[in-house]
Amino acid sequence: MNGIINLKKEAGMTSHDAVFKLRKILKEKKIGHGGTLDPDVVGVLPIAVGKATRVLEYMTEAGKVYEGQITLGFSTTTEDASGDLIHRTPVDETLSMDLIDQAMTCFIGQITQVPPMYSAVKVNGKELYEYARAGQEVERPQRQVRIYDFKRTSELVFEDECCRFDFRVSCSKGTYIRTLAVDLGQKLGYASHMSFLKRTASAGLDFSQALTLAEIAEKVEKKDFSFILPMEYGVLDLPRIDLNQKQTKEVSFGRRLTLHHQEKLLAAFFEDQLIAVLEKRDTSYKPKKVFL
């Protein structure tokens, strides 16, 4: 069994939990996921099965799209709704949509983030959440991420001295949306947190076509494996090149090709079948992974 699964991860489970359960449902050991989702987050979790696990790294590198809600007025230990309240800043109803929209545009482009203490980022061999649970604060490494789009998608709702609104963000891998919500609040002068999040797209897979574990189990029971997508879905975010028969043969022998391209990586196809991932080396492209 080889291919890609568009899994709709539900709240309350880790990405690892989802993979573990899929191994039991599919009776396959070789399964991995392309991009971790926090337990409280729902949405698209790309899954690779069998030989398709060889394209996992390209799925992980792909950009993501999220929809969620930000609450201004108080912050939490985890930067989301699951944490304990740590600071309040009452929000006045004079806060305008224009001011929020203007602040959101400041985050578009390359930005620097400090990962939340409740995260899986490792410092000195331990994950940050282990320090957080022990009540220890450690210096966290900064990271560069890219925000392609960040917009408010609802009216403002004022309640209990807080302000809530929905948003949509398109971003690079490694972006902490919780931290983005907190940093936006700081920009506006308020304590804040991410009160809801759903990943709507990842690695070319869309939430509207995603299936839950229960739906997948039901299909497997009926011996319906139509939900397993071709391995080609794993490289949708890579630039595509179509090879001729002679070039395909050269690639099968691991030989380099001279191609008029500048991209670092190319997904090489022959007759609509994924043949290889090619990596630019000086003036030629070397087969990095061959799938023949």
CATH number of the CATH domain containing 274: 2.30.130.10
Looking at the fold, whether 109 and 156 belong to one and the same domain comes out as yes
Mean pLDDT over each residue of the chain, to the nearest integer = 93
Nearest-angstrom CA–CA distance, 119 and 91 = 28
191, 89 in Cβ contact below 8 A? yes
Task: Look up residue 256 and give its two tokens.
Answer: 């380099």
Looking at the fold, whether 44 and 120 belong to one and the same domain comes out as no
pLDDT per residue as tens digits for the range 62-76: 889 999 999 999 999
pLDDT per residue as tens digits for the range 162-195: 999 999 999 998 899 999 999 999 999 999 999 9
Task: Give the CATH number of the domain where residue 45 resides.
Answer: 3.30.2350.10
38 noted as active-site residue: yes
Nearest-angstrom CA–CA distance, 64 and 267 = 20
Per the structure, the complete domain to which residue 262 belongs is given by 238-290
DSSP character at residue 239: P
Looking at the fold, whether 220 and 282 belong to one and the same domain comes out as no
Beta carbons within 8 Å of 90's beta carbon, 6+ residues apart: 73, 161
Looking at the fold, whether 119 and 178 belong to one and the same domain comes out as yes
Q: What is the largest CA-CA distance in the chain?
A: 69
Looking at the fold, whether 284 and 249 belong to one and the same domain comes out as yes
Looking at the fold, whether 17 and 119 belong to one and the same domain comes out as no
As a whole number, mean pLDDT of residues 87-106 equals 97
Looking at the fold, whether 216 and 187 belong to one and the same domain comes out as no
Looking at the fold, whether 191 and 74 belong to one and the same domain comes out as yes
- Name the pTM for this structure: 0.88
Q: Which of 17, 38, 224, 242 is catalytic?
A: 38
Q: What local confidence, expressed as pLDDT, does residue 138 receive?
A: 82
Nearest-angstrom CA–CA distance, 228 and 278 = 25
Looking at the fold, whether 177 and 222 belong to one and the same domain comes out as no
Using the predicted structure, report yes or no on whether residue 128 has a pLDDT greater than 80.
no
Looking at the fold, whether 208 and 223 belong to one and the same domain comes out as yes
Nearest-angstrom CA–CA distance, 212 and 10 = 7
Looking at the fold, whether 84 and 168 belong to one and the same domain comes out as yes
Alpha helices in the chain (DSSP H): 15-26, 56-61, 97-105, 128-133, 177-188, 213-221, 245-252
Looking at the fold, whether 147 and 185 belong to one and the same domain comes out as yes
Provide the domain count of the chain. 3
Using the predicted structure, report yes or no on whether residue 118 has a pLDDT greater than 80.
no
